[in-house]
Amino acid sequence: MTDTKGTPLVEMRDISISFGGIKAVDHVSIDLQPGEVVGLLGHNGAGKSTLIKCLSGAYQADAGEILINGEKVTIRNPRDARTHNIETIYQTLALADNLTAASNLFLGRELVTPLGMVDDSRMEAETRKIMGRLNPNFRKFNVPVSALSGGQRQSVAIARAVYFNAKILIMDEPTAALGPHETQMVAELIQELKREGLGIFLIEHDIHAVMELCDRAVVMKNGQRVGTVNVKDVTDDDILGMIILGKKPPQAY
């Protein structure tokens, strides 16, 4: 399957980053095709979030390079990532608790009136539209997000990533706080975005969700890449073996 692919949408080569001596990510390479969902798996502290934060601009890798559509790019901060149409749903959600859903959704990219003032009404209207699609039960538009439930907060974070027409979407445990119905809606959303041609990195602990949603899975352990597999060539036990024991099945590369 690898040889039939064109230029990858994203290629992260040999990325390393350490925090005070701890190698959080150690020479890891991953890539992503348009319309593909790549799962990123591993135990807690394996380095998954740290790796994708190098792509979203939250961290700068100590070594390695990032290519987008085959071109080498430098991503120094989240603004750079956004200019490359990379959107991220962070594990911590990264919401300002004191602001409303609309203010959070448009944070850093506010809609403004011709006079340059933030246009709260229009932002709220847009937020109502997108939330109507993602979470029709959502009603709390006029309160700070601190007043929302974990799942409602998560849907705000998802809405923010989806609203701005990303080409590359990073989802760090997007369904961690969601109920079964909402989780199903996110799964459908992922499939819809995939059909639209987005590339998605999905960090997910639920192995069944990975088997259902992902095309390929990359497994990490202690900051290193154990291996990459095409999901339809392996069983969930193979993947569990990679995560827990670091054992590479023959189909992996």
Partner 1 sequence: MTNTNSPTPAGSDATQGPVTRFLRATEIDTRLLGMVAALVLIWIGFHLYGALINGNGAFLTPRNLWNLSVQTASIGIMATGMVLVIVTRNIDLSVGSVLGFTAMIMALMQSRWLPHVFELGSPVIWITAALTGLLMGAAIGAFHGYLIAYARIPAFIVTLGGLLVWRGAAFLVARGETISPLDSTFVLIGGGPYGSVGATGSWIICALACAAVLWMIVSGRKSRQDHGFAQRPVWADTFLSALGCGIIIGATLLMNAYPWPKGIVKDYAAKNNITVPEEGLFISHGFAIPVLVLVAVAILMTILSTRTRFGRYVFAIGGNPEAAELAGINTRWMTVKLYALMGLLTGLSAVVASARLNSATNALGTFDELYVIAAAVIGGTSLAGGVGTIYGAILGALVMQSLQSGMVLIGFDAAIQQMVVGGVLVLAVWLDILYRRNAK
Ligand X SMILES: Nc1ncnc2c1ncn2[C@@H]1O[C@H](COP(=O)(O)OP(=O)(O)OP(=O)(O)O)[C@@H](O)[C@H]1O
Q: Report the residue from 10, 49, 145, 171 that binds Mg ion according to the rule CB under 5 A.
A: 49
| Residues in 66-85 that interact with partner 1 by CB under 8 A | 77-79, 82
Q: How far is the CB of 101 from ligand X (least distance, A)?
A: 25
Answer with the entry of partner 1, ligand X, Mg ion, none that 50 interacts with (C-beta below 5 to 8 A by kind).
Answer: ligand X
Rounded to whole angstroms, the Cα distance separating 29 from 16 reads: 9
d(CA 239, CA 252): 10
Footprint on residues 144-173 left by partner 1 (CB under 8 A): 144
Residue 19 within binding range of ligand X, rule CB under 6 A: yes
> Would you count residue 46 as binding ligand X (CB under 6 A)?
yes
Give burial (CB, 10 Å; 0-12/13-18/19+) of 43. middle
Question: With respect to ligand X, which residue has the nearer C-beta, 99 or 207?
Answer: 207
Binding of residue 42 to ligand X (CB under 6 A): yes
Task: Please state, in angstroms and as integers, the Cα–Cα distance from residue 228 to each residue in 18, 21, 62, 195, 221, following that order.
Answer: 22, 27, 23, 23, 12
Minimum gap (Å) between residue 119 Cβ and partner 1 = 9
Please give the residue ranges that form the binding site for Mg ion (CB under 5 A): 49, 91
Please give the residue ranges that form the binding site for ligand X (CB under 6 A): 19, 22, 24, 42, 44-50, 91
